[in-house]
Structure 1
């Protein structure tokens, strides 16, 4: 009888595991969706890297966003490092570098805790920031991590603050951490034991890739080290990203469940200083459990069992006060924070959850309904086939959102634009590209063509007529090609260009065309869509066709590019607030262009266009104007009222 009861309990847990698996897939995506998110970010970074190899700074997206998470609590983590500086572990590695072009820095780990090091400047620095961070120590020139952080923070904007080794800030509700670090092409000797441990996971080619890409150093010392203010921490961010990519989807979702457990139970309601456990600890425990091969079957029906093994290891670590770094086990990541009274408190809290068993997962709001659903309906059938969990429209919505969010190549002049276009041209035919990377390159190309066209007009504005005429023909052609590759609303850039070059009737013909497309009931606008109508209208067609027929976004204007004179003051205002991008709802810009154009060709219709704009601004309930963009919408209404002579209303 006991064995029958145990069997039934196991069956029930497997059933709940499958339900939670489905819930997590709906929250963070199926394996296909997670792969797509990573591919989009990877190809953007690849383009940036090839273009900026000769530039001063290299940028790498890291953290949970790079891993494929898009959770509300996730922030954007980026790493920046000077390209002409390299850290080496011993002097024999210096012969790999041209010291005329690259400044070398030598590690000195002799007096630092495991995972930390002092950095000794081997040759004179040409970087003012690094030079000002140098101190005299041991009769040599060392780079102080605290002074380096201070220098970086002094160059940051007023709304950014120091957060550990990072500079933190926010774009609206989205928080970011920028870590300014130094790069090393060689694997740390202190992490050599990790290579020897990799028997079953990860695979040998991944191990080789990780080791060949070296590591980084972030500007923060060990709180219990003798040289806390001057030490640097060895960072394995790139290696960790590759390890997360090497997880199967059940392992990834176990990691996700641990993050939700941390955020929604352990750290819920705590001040920042009281949060003893962090997401990095959760990632570390998953790495250890996978590599120790304690769970041979990472499958949907074992998801809660996988979570439980990881949870018990966290409990053991907290009890012992030891959390071994995955790459350098001698580096105890609890040493400076989890000890004494706080350690005992945390252990008792975790042990209390342990005594409740898996039932404590009901305290996680994100997955509670999926557990209750099975408890109330034990015989309900759970389908874990990922291909049926997400509809075509939902997948498309996620894909377009990813593409739109990461379409952020910074273009300041024609030369930069051409370097980007040339790089994409060389990449586009590669058989190694995934289908998501191809569509991302297509959108990057469309954006580059738009920006190149407008920058070309700016740079040839004062040239002779013949050159201006040729530049105009090229710009018009680029804008039209961009519209064929991009979203519906990319056509608004053609309308703006026509208006600015006084082709008002041509601009109005474009706005009429856009109005017709935006009026379609199957339109996907800013991720709002009737999925049934969308699928009936464009289901099964190529992503390129869908974007051109059915997808629209708010317009993104860069502060350094001139679009139309009537928006210059708004761009300058954004720049004063240290915002390089100005967002305008597409419908607002559409009606604005109609008002501006009708002033020159049909004054009788100006008021109608102005009334349409005014009605939209006054009565929209967040459908066409996002709450974040209501201010700019009111500003544009005021600009149009002022231009049409209604100064009193504009002032109001």
Structure 2
């Protein structure tokens, strides 16, 4: 390769590092998501996958989350069955395609739970765990806490736009025999023997999806190597990873934009392709000054696989992923497009959203966000997608024994502080009623909440305010809510959150917020700019008495600003300061009116009212306390209409006023 070609590759490599992520940023992203998996592991062990879990972030990057069922265990043979606890399942692959299996339930082993009866069916004399009923069971439970996740999409439960995927899976602790040849088959240098040993020690997973078109599709389970695949991706050098990212951008932003081609290929095929290429090539080939030829080789391999309708599963090659994948028409169209892209080389990205400004941008890059700022955004995205409920001891153990870098300790501390929002009654304390024990209980919980104020800019303080109010310390509650409301400004900017389940808002605390980002630590930026919602259950000592009947499991989620105004109203009300509580009510009402755009269509206004659900509920309770019963009825009626999951007692309150 000529010197000019190497220089061109180096420039393209530098450009991709700015667009997709440098090696440092990728490692930090992976660390952030790995910590998130540990921190948010409540009842179900969690595994982040998808582009962001792999360390990539560009338009369309997703975060798929897998939860491992702790009460189920799969075995390949009866001799492996040792556990007497949980639901024991035996693989049965005699009549299934490669990479798929039935899961026979073994009633004589382990424990049968009541809920498993809803997921099993008799089939040919065997009691099988139905993959379809398994998904339906989890959908029914998940929709209570995450109403937007209401669709079954393949093995996952998804939202309407299929941007957020959650898959519940079952684990086998041993490496299965179907994938045994993968361990010792001939290869060049990759993957190395130590990585292979590590991978096979982790076993495999089973996800609830059958082979499409199979007559027993609803009973089949796909054998998943997601953990192994994630470890293989993590072992890529940065040039390999960028080539993988280029293939994903090519698919999402070019191939799928053409009519008739959407859905023909998927990211999993590209990942499999990269694994095969990596086995075939020497590691010395994957260099920054050779990235363009490397990508062209990947594109050529993809063209070859489509032309011959052959892409073998990486771990179980008996399964051809492209078997019957294409018909004559769409195959001809796809092959023609791939040939054209191959002839264009890297100029094929001129029509992509992410990379359209190459080479102009590579010569004169605009001012980029600093790595510190990028990591702050990544952390906030992750932090908003789940909370570390009940994981204080696990988090403390990881902080003390497993955190080796400043970033990891900072992120663990962030989750550690957030976990203190969810501390409920002290065990057995309800049996003790002496003043001394009540005081101890109060001080214990207060100390927990004081740690919790370090989780973000607002919610920790507001939970503390609810605690003071619930213990009739109204003046303290007013001081804290005043501090909370001072954090809100008219200038806010949304962070695009494509993969998290809640909205994340960066609050512009000062005009020089970008300067703050330059000079402060990453974790300081995260704390200062994040506003999380509040989760409180009925056992929490910080629950408002007025909301006690509404805060049953699953946790209720409250937006901070309306809650702050509501606490101020309640505090002034019990201090009998009429002018102040009327003013607080008007500020809460103004919050509602300012967020309602009465020029919108009826459907748009209904959608907006759903978002203002709790604001209306707070207004209804406040109006009722003030004796404005007609106004209270109006708000309770609107809330009752929106409250399709009966999360509040709005309908009950309304019936008592009529």
Shorter-normalised TM range: 0.7 to 0.9
Query: Aligned-pair distance for 1:240?
Result: 0.9
SS in 1 for 2:397: helix
Conserved 8 A contact 2:452-2:460: yes
- What corresponds to 2:411 in structure 1? 440
Deviation string 1:68-99 (CA, Å, 9 cap, x unpaired) is: 345554454333444343323344434xx23x
Match of 2:579 among 604, 607, 618: 604
CA distance in 1, matches of 2:139, 2:103: 20
Gaps of 5+ in 1: 375-379, 411-416
> Where do residues 532-547 of structure 1 align in structure 2 (5 Å cutoff)?
533-534=512-513, 536-537=515-516, 540-542=519-521
Which has the larger displacement, 475-484 or 100-109?
100-109
Residue 86 of structure 1 pairs with residue 82 of structure 2 = no
Which has the larger displacement, 611-620 or 238-247?
611-620
Q: 1:518 to 1:345 in 2, by over 3 A?
A: closer
Which has the larger displacement, 501-510 or 334-343?
334-343
Deviation string 1:185-213 (CA, Å, 9 cap, x unpaired) is: 11122223322245522333322111100
- What corresponds to 1:450 in structure 2? 421
Conserved 8 A contact 2:403-2:409: no
- What corresponds to 1:119 in structure 2? 103
- What corresponds to 1:39 in structure 2? 31
> Where do residues 469-618 of structure 1 align in structure 2 (5 Å cutoff)?
469-484=439-454, 486-516=456-486, 526-529=505-508, 533-534=512-513, 536-537=515-516, 540-542=519-521, 550-558=528-536, 560=538, 563-567=543-547, 580-584=555-559, 586-601=560-575, 602-618=577-593
SS in 2 for 1:251: helix
Conserved 8 A contact 1:111-1:226: no
Residue 168 of structure 1 pairs with residue 158 of structure 2 = yes
Conserved 8 A contact 2:189-2:283: no
Match of 1:285 among 241, 257, 273: 273
Query: Aligned-pair distance for 1:342?
Result: 3.2
CA distance in 1, matches of 2:589, 2:242: 47
Conserved 8 A contact 1:133-1:151: no
CA distance in 2, matches of 1:431, 1:162: 37
Q: 1:545 to 1:142 in 2, by over 3 A?
A: closer
- What corresponds to 1:19 in structure 2? 15
Match of 1:214 among 203, 213, 231: 203
CA distance in 1, matches of 2:140, 2:472: 45
- What corresponds to 1:414 in structure 2? none
Residue 194 of structure 1 pairs with residue 182 of structure 2 = yes
Query: Aligned-pair distance for 1:337?
Result: 2.2
Match of 1:426 among 377, 388, 397: 397
TM-score by length of 2: 0.79
Query: Aligned-pair distance for 1:309?
Result: 1.9
Match of 1:329 among 313, 317, 329: 317
Match of 1:233 among 199, 222, 227: 222
- What corresponds to 1:245 in structure 2? 234
Query: Aligned-pair distance for 1:451?
Result: 1.8
Conserved 8 A contact 1:166-1:180: yes
Conserved 8 A contact 1:489-1:552: no
Conserved 8 A contact 2:103-2:128: yes
CA distance in 2, matches of 1:644, 1:461: 37
Query: Aligned-pair distance for 1:231?
Result: 3.2
Match of 2:355 among 367, 372, 379: 367
Deviation string 1:36-77 (CA, Å, 9 cap, x unpaired) is: 33323323433565x64xxxx544333334323455544543
CA distance in 1, matches of 2:580, 2:173: 65
Q: 1:603 to 1:102 in 2, by over 3 A?
A: closer
Q: 1:269 to 1:462 in 2, by over 3 A?
A: farther
Conserved 8 A contact 1:40-1:406: no
Conserved 8 A contact 2:373-2:517: no
Residue 204 of structure 1 pairs with residue 193 of structure 2 = yes
SS in 2 for 1:367: coil
- What corresponds to 2:89 in structure 1? 105
SS in 2 for 1:61: strand
Gaps of 5+ in 2: 495-503, 598-606, 636-658
Q: 1:22 to 1:206 in 2, by over 3 A?
A: same
CA distance in 2, matches of 1:373, 1:471: 60
- What corresponds to 1:377 in structure 2? none
Q: 1:38 to 1:305 in 2, by over 3 A?
A: same
Conserved 8 A contact 1:321-1:339: no
Q: 1:535 to 1:72 in 2, by over 3 A?
A: closer
Query: Aligned-pair distance for 1:362?
Result: 1.0
Residue 135 of structure 1 pairs with residue 122 of structure 2 = yes
CA distance in 1, matches of 2:308, 2:490: 62
Q: 1:146 to 1:608 in 2, by over 3 A?
A: closer
TM-score by length of 1: 0.79
Which has the larger displacement, 308-317 or 350-359?
350-359
Q: 1:117 to 1:407 in 2, by over 3 A?
A: closer
CA distance in 2, matches of 1:90, 1:295: 38
Query: Aligned-pair distance for 1:321?
Result: 0.3
Conserved 8 A contact 1:489-1:553: yes
Q: 1:507 to 1:458 in 2, by over 3 A?
A: farther
**Ranges of 4+ aligned residues in structure 1 off by more than 6 Å:** 519-525
Query: Aligned-pair distance for 1:179?
Result: 2.9
CA distance in 2, matches of 1:163, 1:369: 34
User: Greater helix percent: which structure?
Assistant: 1
CA distance in 1, matches of 2:397, 2:569: 43
How big is the alpha-carbon RMSD for the aligned residues of Structure 1 and Structure 2? 4.0
Conserved 8 A contact 1:62-1:77: yes
Which has the larger displacement, 32-41 or 200-209?
32-41
Conserved 8 A contact 1:40-1:402: no
